[in-house]
Chain A
Amino acid sequence: MINDILSIMWKEIRELILQRSGLRGGWIGLLILIAVFGVLFPLQSGPDWLVTPTTILMWAWVPFILVNSVVADSFAGERERHTLETLLASRLSDQAILIGKFVQQSPMVGE
């Protein structure tokens, strides 16, 4: 399983290096999140916004949502380019493909 995940990551990284547009969608998502949680909400609710536990919880979700959207993009991309079916027809399990994509995206987003 670990090997399978590493294989997927190996491929994902190479595809990303060759064209970073896969991440662009993610960055746009992040900017929207920052705009909403960091600018719009504080402006509306004043200084209270910064100290409520809800806020902290919200921020904790940001990387998760971001990674999620990039992974979803990556799947959509494979489907569009008709590579997913061949990958699914290989010995890899669906879980390995998902985790491989997920784990690979996480550190990239964290940077």
Chain B
Amino acid sequence: MASTAIKTTNLSREFGAIQALNMLSIEVPAGSVFGFLGPNGAGKTTTIRLLLGLLEPSQGKATVLGYDSVNQADQIRLQSGALLEHNGLYERLSAENNLEFYGRVWRIPAAERQVRIRELLTNLGLWERREEPVSNWSRGMKQKLAMARALFHRPALLFLDEPTAGLDPSSAARLRDDLEKLVEIEGVTVFLNTHNLAEAERLCQQIGIIRNGRLVAKGSPRQLRAQAGNPQMEVTGLGFTGQVIRALQDRPEVVSAAHHNHHLTIHLRESVDTAPLVSLLVNLGVQVDEVIKSQSSLEEVFLSLVNEEENSGINHD
């Protein structure tokens, strides 16, 4: 499946004087996870609303699963599952009835509904508490229930607005595992708004970084990291002679090499395999104690992009 699940062209939306989304053009291949990152108020939630046809764009266009988000939103919603900004649970109803209601909404036959509710709640470890009104549940428990509701009808496309907000680290990891499986096994496409950079790095094939309604960067986590700075290699050991340094500098993948006492720092051109460099060092008589390969993290990329934007707004050079 190489088709496109979501495609937007200059998608824009303003609220009065606020330009919540400004000329967004992205493409999300079917069967992949697209991560949308950005500071508060960047326009992430607005984008999900536009894609589901809950809001109309003031300019531009979005095609989701081949349907136009304005004229054919019914078709989009029919095949999508959504966990929006608010969990959307009926607090007075029990957890079981919340799922039962949405099972009916999705026209799932009664027998299948029962099985699915049991399966989902058991998977979350919440089956025992199914009869309690949701208002008694903790925030993280509610978030899990809302996630189960979004998955109930096995949608082809999932919109998730900060799904791990409020989850403890192990529950969050579990949800990521589950999502990964869904994408791998069932080929589900996921549009994920998140503030969790590790989560984006772990799950997403493509990431878009948005600020003040404008997309400031787009690419795979690896591409984004490479954009922010080159990887480097730190070697600790003995025998860093001038000959060793010169030999390293002759290598095409090495930008620069310098040593200080027992530490050697090699700046690399891109993420290359470092094993040949290590054997080169060993062949030249270096006693290698430790090798650390480092790369700027996605967090550094994110911060630099977001701050860069901030500065460029102030400086006019």
Contacts and interface: CB of A to CB of B under 8 A. Distances in A.
Given A89-B77, A89-B84, A19 B105 contact: no
A88 B49 CA distance: 11
Name the interface size band of chain A: 20 to 34
Given A87-B88, A88-B54, A18 B93 contact: yes
Name the interface size band of chain B: 20 to 34
A17 B74 CA distance: 31
B74 A91 contact: yes
A91 B106 contact: yes
A81 interface: yes
B219 interface: no
A83 B90 contact: yes
A82 interface: yes
B52 interface: yes
Nearest to B103: A7
Interface string B59-78: 00000000000000010011
B90 A85 contact: no
B106 A90 contact: yes
B86 interface: yes
Contacts of A14: 92-93, 97
A85 B104 contact: no
B107 to A, nearest CB: 6
Interface string A16-56: 00110000000000000000000000000000000000000
A92 B84 CA distance: 16
A6 B101 CA distance: 10
Interface string A55-87: 000000000000000000000000001110111
B133 interface: yes
A19 B74 contact: no
Interface of A: 3-4, 6-7, 10-11, 14-15, 18-19, 81-83, 85-93
Q: Top 8 nearest A-B pairs by Cβ distance?
A: A86-B88, A82-B86, A7-B104, A18-B92, A89-B82, A11-B101, A91-B78, A83-B88
5 contacts: A81-B91, A87-B88, A89-B54, A91-B105, A92-B105
Interface of B: 52, 54, 74, 77-78, 80, 82, 84-93, 97, 101-102, 104-107, 133, 149, 159
